[in-house]
Amino acid sequence: MRKTNLKKLRNSINLIDEEMAKLFAFRLDIVTKIAKEKANENLNIEDKTRETEIIKKNSGHIFNDEYLPLYEEFMNKIFELSKRYQRSLLSKDEVEK
């Protein structure tokens, strides 16, 4: 692979990573609101059924079967981080009831 091609590919990855960072921050903004709703309704932070549904629904966008286990792992990490953040908000009483 020529260096110029590698540079172009890395630039593409950089753009994707930038968008993913923005989407991650946006997701956490919404997670904050969800934590508040869950606190108000006395709901559990964890909802494994919903997590499974999300992975199943969005797996349809993964057209390479080799990527599916990686996608599931990626999403499970996102869920783990989201739940950890919700717990931290609730323990700090940053989410007002």
- Answer for the pair 51, 79: CB distance below 8 angstroms, yes or no: yes
Q: What is the CATH number of domain 3-91?
A: 1.20.59.10
Please give the full DSSP string across 65-88, using - where no structure is assigned: GGGHHHHHHHHHHHHHHHHHHHHH
Q: What is the CA radius of gyration of the chain?
A: 17
State pLDDT tens for residues 3-34.
Answer: 799 999 999 999 999 999 999 999 999 999 99
DSSP assigned state of 64:
-
- The whole-number pLDDT of residue 40 equals 94
pTM of the model: 0.87
Which band of pLDDT confidence, cut at 50, 70 and 90, is reported for residue 97?
very low
Tell me the per-residue pLDDT of 71-92, one tens digit each, with 9 for 90 and over: 999 999 999 999 999 999 998 8
Integer CA distances (angstroms), 88 to 28, 55, 83, 85, in order:
12, 24, 9, 5
CB atoms near residue 56 (< 10 Å): 10
